[in-house]
Structure 1
Amino acid sequence: MSSLSTSTLASTPVIGRKKRDVAYLLSLGFLLIVVAAALLAPWVAPYAANAVDFTAIWQAPGAGHLLGTDQVGQDLFSRLIHGARESLLGPLALLALATLFGVTIGTVAAWNGGWLDVLLARITDVMFAFPGLLFVVLVIAVFGKGPATAIVALALAYAPVIAKFTRSLALAEMARPYVDAYRVQGVGGFLLCVRYIIPNLTPPLLGYLVVLFGEGLMSLATLSFLGFGAQPPSSEWGLMVQEGQSGIIQGHIWPTLVPGAAIAAVVVAVNVVGVRLSDRLNSRFER
């Protein structure tokens, strides 16, 4: 009886790990397909992104149009594929800019400490406490709407989050013996941070950034939906949701459902991959 219970308990973590691995592999495969479709959009999409056909307005999914058409007869499947490039590149650019700001601020704060650490901490606390979307709308109101402004504004909003996370990692990394050893050898602070500390922060930071990618995608899609991000005739997914709203009242849900489902599916897949990747990288980082 006891041996049966012991074997059952021992097999439970293995089963759970296998389920997580399956979800991770399925999510990773789905994301690779989305990325491939975005890269090969001109050759994969059956129609041009903005090809209009007034004889095929509001068509349901069928043989001619796999996911149906919108209010001007544009093929939703083709627009979805073409829009994947902009919908994925936007969060990537956003995270690249936010990471540059956040990692720099977090590392400088951890390394110098003292009044500079306190000052940077207070600045990041203020930005972190300020509603992100309100801050972005404020920036857009000053500099004008558009995808570039939305990316920069969101990067400034995300930077404090990354800075706080980087600072905590950097403080733990600076407590390791090799840092004192390099200091004794006369290695300067800038060189030590750039060549050793920041590269060692990459594994745990990378998994965190993958999860933030999904949030960035949703944030940019929200701004496009509100009219602050991508502008027509773009086929960015958030803008597609906004343009398809008029059909809901008439019972045509596909123009809104298709891009909305694409956003949700990519965000869920990114989160699954990000959490699993973070677990793997953190386990290696702690060794």
Structure 2
Amino acid sequence: MTTMVATLPPKAARPLGYWLASAFLLLVVAAAVLAPLVAPYEPDAVDFAATLAPMSPGHLLGADQSGRDLFSRALYGARTSLIGPLALLAIASVLGVALGTLAAWHRGWVDAVVSRLTDVMYAFPGLLFVVLIVAVFGNGMTTAVLALGLAYTPTIAKYTRSVALGECGKPYIDAYRVQGMGGFTICVRHLVPNMARSIVGYLVVLFGEGLMSLATLSFLGFGAQPPSSDWGLMVKEGQPAIVQGAFLPVLIPGAAIALVVVSFNVIGVRLADRMGVRGT
């Protein structure tokens, strides 16, 4: 007599790229937090004797045209380069999730108004919309973050609406309604929390895009202002050194931006796929 044993398929192994991206982002976050302890110099310490110095024990990643240590500036720049996208996505999430949930819950004319509002915002190129806001309220990282937060709101609102429409058709929504629970309470306590996993996965992907957008604004002079060590501003300030054959002032912050954006995209896509499979 033979006994058949059913075996469950093993969980899908996470690809190597996922682990590498996660490890790199943990390293970047740790560097940003520990910058005052790890950085050998102050980020704005000028030393004209070290102008455009190459990589050396004294300057691990070289120095810029003002003699400022690129390694120290990259470490401190990680702070603004990571906090900025986090802040703008927090603003966009609060507004976008509220609008998307409102449209999906009420539908009808409310859905039509919200949809037309987001369509109008989509009619303007995102960067142009941000530049218009910056032109009115002035340059600076705070203005750039607020402007990008508004620019990303319709994207998150549309995504939230699509997820909420599917969630609103599930039996538990009708069950809570039969119990006499109000719409606001259902949305806050049950609908939005059940959508959270899908929304978070989407936001992780948007984080890299937000970082790139903020770096672009800083490069154009609308975001971070000197003497900030923001990576986008570092790329702008390092451009004149290319004429002198020095590429490190541009290469170091540019590579940091590219690697962080790619890492967030790799992790975000992975999380979005897994959360989509496990969705309730």
- Bin for the TM-score computed over the shorter chain: over 0.9
More helix as a share of residues:
1
Which of structure 1's runs of 4+ aligned residues deviate more than 2 A? none
Aligned to 2:234: 240
- What CA RMSD, in Å, does the superposition of the two structures yield over aligned residues? 1.0
Find the aligned partners of 1:44 and 1:280 in 2 and give their Cα distance: 36
Q: Deviations over 1:67-103 (max 9, x none)?
A: 1000010000000001100110000000000000000
Distance of 1:146 and 1:176 partners within structure 2: 45
Does residue 178 of structure 2 align to residue 212 of structure 1? no
Q: Shift of residue 282 of structure 1?
A: 1.5
2:224 alignment partner in structure 1: 230
Mapped pair 1:119 → 2:113: yes
| Partner SS state of residue 120, structure 1 | helix
Q: Find the counterpart in structure 1 of residue 268 from structure 2.
A: 274
Map 1:180-191 to 2 at 5 A: 180-191=174-185
Q: Displacement, 1:129?
A: 2.6
Deviation at 1:61?
Answer: 1.1
Identity of paired residues, percent? 64
2:139 equivalent to 1:145: yes
Distance apart, 1:126 and its partner CA? 1.1
Aligned pair partner of 2:18 in 17, 24, 36:
24
Greater alpha carbon shift after TM alignment, 238-247 vs 274-283: 274-283
Whether 2:279 is the aligned partner of 1:260: answer no
Pairing 1:1-150 to 2, within 5 Å after superposition: 18=13, 21-150=15-144
Amino acid in the other structure paired with 1:236: D
Measure, in 2, the Cα distance between the counterparts of 1:263 and 1:119. Answer: 37
1:267 aligned partner, one-letter code? V
SS at match of 1:244: helix
The Cα shift of 1:213 comes to 0.3
> In the alignment, residue 56 of structure 2 is paired with which amino acid?
G
Report matched runs for 1:164-183 at 5 Å: 164-183=158-177
Alpha-carbon offset, residue 63 of structure 1: 1.6
Alignment partner, residue 7 of structure 1: none
Residue aligning to 1:198:
192
Task: State the partner residue of 2:151.
Answer: 157
Rounded to whole Å, the distance in 2 between the matches of 1:129 and 1:162 is: 16
Give the secondary structure class of the aligned counterpart of 1:61: coil
Q: Deviations over 1:230-267 (max 9, x none)?
A: 00000000000000011011111110010000000000
| Distance in 1 separating the partners of 2:143 and 2:186 | 34
**Alpha-carbon shift at residue 35 of structure 1 (Å):** 0.3
2-structure distance, mates of 1:83, 1:211: 21
In structure 2, the partner of 1:10 is: none
* 1:159-181 deviation digits (Å, cap 9, x = unpaired): 00000000000000000000001
Unpaired runs of 5+ in structure 1?
1-13
TM-score between both structures, scaled by the size of structure 2: 0.95
In the aligned structure 2, how far is the partner of 1:58 from the partner of 1:210? 36
Q: Provide the secondary structure at the position in 2 that maps to 1:235.
A: coil
Whole-angstrom distance in 2 between the partners of 1:138 and 1:34: 32
- In structure 1, distance between residues paired with 2:77 and 2:136: 27
